[in-house]
Structure 1
Amino acid sequence: MTRFKAAALAAASAFGIATAAFGQAPLKIGFIGELSGPQASVGQDQYDGFMLVVERNGGKLGGVPVQVLKEDTQLKPEVATQAVRKLIEKDNVSIITGVSFSNIMLSVHKYVTDKEVFLVGSNAGPSQIAGPQCSPFQYIVSWQGDQAAEAVGKYAADKGYQRIAAMAPNYQAGKDVIAGLKRHYKKPLLDEMYTPLNQLDFSAELTQVAAAKPDAVFAFYPGGLGVTFSRQFQQAGLLKSTPLLSTFIVDATTLPALKESAIGVVSGGFWAPDFPNAASKQFVADFERKYKRIPSNYAAQSYDAGMLLDSAIAKVKGSMVDKRAFMTAMKAADFASVRGSFKFNHNNFPIHDMHIMETVRDEAGRFTLKTIATPLKGLVDAYHEQCPLK
């Protein structure tokens, strides 16, 4: 009997140790983004912003150890599809975050959400998933693709520009951005030019622009495309004669390369490094301390994604079994956002202010963005009424 009790106690002890070990198993989170090629700076800043939260918390979110598994989608939908299948089917992730470009989001969104894996997007926000293809498993912490351009359109209308030529890559985000510009800039555009996503020579298009002599040019070219476009815009002599209005051409990922050529360029967005709220100040200070550079909006968005998950995971004590409970925790958005006020609409896209920034030098002589206007406050995206979620 004594031997039996001893054996039973030993078994119970072993079970307890196993249970404790199981309880400490990290929650797996997949990160997908553009981490190579001309757009690598976008994905890298997203990753760095997210990991800033994780590493500051000692490798935890919500008090729970997490393992972040990183995959480079190479701006190729087929590669992205393979990456999310691996993360879900082999690595058993409960959450996927990142997603830099809209064509990538559209290639993975249905598969991820159909698998009831939580998709916490920190950049791409195409119109389809804000509207009819929305899912209770998506939480977009950045912005809907039209919104920054909507602010620029309102700013351009307020400035009295009469003739605007618009340029963007020929993919979903490019089309959403131009649609957003036209939503608040009511006049017909002088021209709309959609260039191939990987096009790096804009000389033909800029020759057309120069001949048309518009009041201003609006352009959307993220990451490395923005550097190439801006340099060619300046080389064509347009920067001296034609205001350049943009979304995400000038940001912390491109300004170190653009330097003086970006001074005075106007951009729309949800956040800038000069925001005075406490959360933004802490983020900027921590990011600069760790990475030795000014953070971009991509980093800020992913930082917010990390802070949102930190809050939601804590609310469910790290358990992803009750998905409805986790949805409720995510929807609460109980975290201090870098943008100040943050809340989700019924389609799980944010309701927030959209601002106008201008490229300037800061006190240290670095090129950065300065907020000069807030043309749209409490903005809801244009597609939310098409989303069946309540």
Structure 2
Amino acid sequence: MTATALTSSAFADVKVGMITTLSGGGAGLGIDVRDGFMLAIKQSGRTDIEVVIEDDQRKPDIAVQLADKMVQSEKVDVLTGIIWSNLAMAVVPSVTAQGKFYLSPNAGPSALAGAGCHKNYFNVAWQNDNLHEAAGAYANSAGHKNSFILAPNYPAGKDALTGYKRFFSGDLAGEIFTKLGQTDYAAEIAQIRASNADSVFFFLPGGMGISFLKQYASSGVDLPVVGPAFSFDQGILQAVGSAALGVVNTSQWNKDIDNPTNNAFVESFKAEYGRLPSLYASQGFDTANLLISAVATSDVKDADSFRKALEAANFDSTRGDFKFGSNHHPVQTIYARKVIKEGDIFTNMIIGTALENHSDAYATECKF
């Protein structure tokens, strides 16, 4: 699938390879990233940006094959789109080593933020630990003292629990790594019930979070739940329903962040696609606008110049002011949100700030 934008510049045309998840259990996340990205490209009115889109099926081997095809056959200049950290780890080191730029709209594994960083790798979303660190900070402020924590056994799941523990000052009643893609959580919920926990923190993105929340709500376990936005975002909430009401979750974005760019993004996304945007859609939109800002002022064939343009991040973000840290990961404010119902729609509202101007724990290890 190929899409081309609508106006050009004096610099060389840019070819973008988007590898993302468009089928299977995680498809909603990839679809949102794609739609947010392509909305920004459309709104830019440029004809010098071509986007080739492929489905990785949430399989690392497929992602690697697609990346090889895009670099060797399609001759792309920039790659983007990957949702899952295990796929990012399979693709990003290889494509950046071949001189390509990678702009991540989501996955931010710790291995790519510290000693394994690369000057051509930029993460526009977060470093994986960040929202979980904010959840730990929020749990402290809420008075939680003994959390039961769980996440899938893959890089982002490990980063999630590491991040929560880094900021949570209480004790752990239990810690579990679940199977990636798991849908039955009866055993885990039984362990939570038998523990002395006063709260539950979990990171289970996509369909995993839907399954867990529904089973947890019907289990009779009545402990407060804290988590990152990934299991409480717009596309997921409608499937979870009332089981999510009142849950506090952490995010660097929400539809009620009041700035002109975000307000326009929310309305234009609704008009274009007939649904509210998610966190993933906002990240796709911001990633495309970062790319557009660099294309407008530099030639992608001049890697040093293009890299400097990306580092400048001279674009209007849905989050407000946007800047990269020294390792090309965002320095940003992370909010506490609460799940509410507006009419017939489940959504989130910001209730406070969890961490302000927050960087990541690995930046000092990154040496370009």
* TM bucket, shorter chain: over 0.9
- Report what 1:265 is aligned to: 247
Distance 1:162 1:107, change over 3 A: same
Query: Is 1:98 matched with 2:81?
Result: yes
Give me the whole-angstrom Cα distance separating, in 2, the residues matched to 1:189 and 1:207.
16
Identity of aligned pairs, percent? 38
- Report what 2:26 is aligned to: 39
Query: Is 1:347 matched with 2:327?
Result: yes
Residue 83 of structure 1 aligns with an amino acid whose one-letter code is L
Tell me, which stretches of 5 or more residues in structure 2 are unaligned?
Answer: 1-7
Give me the whole-angstrom Cα distance separating, in 1, the residues matched to 2:249 and 2:153.
20
Query: Is 1:287 matched with 2:308?
Result: no
- Report what 1:225 is aligned to: 208
Tell me, which stretches of 5 or more residues in structure 1 are unaligned?
Answer: 1-20
Answer whether contact 1:39 1:225 (CA < 8 A) is retained.
no
1:25-64 map, 5 Å: 26-58=13-45, 60=46, 64=47
Residue 362 of structure 2 aligns with an amino acid whose one-letter code is Y
Give me the whole-angstrom Cα distance separating, in 2, the residues matched to 1:148 and 1:119.
22
Give me the whole-angstrom Cα distance separating, in 1, the residues matched to 2:301 and 2:106.
27
Residue 48 of structure 1 aligns with an amino acid whose one-letter code is D
- Report what 1:15 is aligned to: none
Runs of 4+ in 1 over 2 A off after TM superposition: 23-27
Q: Which of 328, 343, 347 does residue 368 from structure 1 map onto?
A: 347
Give me the whole-angstrom Cα distance separating, in 1, the residues matched to 2:321 and 2:194.
44
Answer whether contact 1:41 1:224 (CA < 8 A) is retained.
no
- Report what 1:9 is aligned to: none
- Report what 1:122 is aligned to: 105
TM-score under structure 1 normalisation?
0.90
Greater CA deviation, 225-234 or 123-132? 225-234
Give me the whole-angstrom Cα distance separating, in 1, the residues matched to 2:242 and 2:142.
24
Q: Which of 201, 218, 223 does residue 242 from structure 1 map onto?
A: 223
Q: Alpha-carbon deviation of 1:266?
A: 1.1
- Report what 1:325 is aligned to: 305
Q: Alpha-carbon deviation of 1:155?
A: 0.8
- Report what 1:379 is aligned to: 358
Q: Alpha-carbon deviation of 1:387?
A: 0.3
Q: Deviations over 1:222-262 (max 9, x none)?
A: 11111111111112122xx1111111111111011112111
Larger radius of gyration: 1
SS at match of 1:253: helix
Q: Alpha-carbon deviation of 1:213?
A: 4.4
- Report what 1:315 is aligned to: 297
Residue 282 of structure 1 aligns with an amino acid whose one-letter code is A
Q: Alpha-carbon deviation of 1:186?
A: 2.0
TM-score under structure 2 normalisation?
0.95
Residue 187 of structure 2 aligns with an amino acid whose one-letter code is A
Give me the whole-angstrom Cα distance separating, in 1, the residues matched to 2:238 and 2:43.
26
Residue 352 of structure 2 aligns with an amino acid whose one-letter code is A
Q: Deviations over 1:33-56 (max 9, x none)?
A: 111111100111000010011122
- Report what 2:3 is aligned to: none
Give me the whole-angstrom Cα distance separating, in 2, the residues matched to 1:211 and 1:48.
43
Output the aligned Cα RMSD.
Answer: 1.6
Give me the whole-angstrom Cα distance separating, in 1, the residues matched to 2:22 and 2:172.
35
Q: Deviations over 1:331-378 (max 9, x none)?
A: 00000111112101111001000111110122x431111111112111
SS at match of 2:331: strand
- Report what 1:135 is aligned to: 118
SS at match of 1:279: helix
Give me the whole-angstrom Cα distance separating, in 2, the residues matched to 1:237 and 1:50.
41
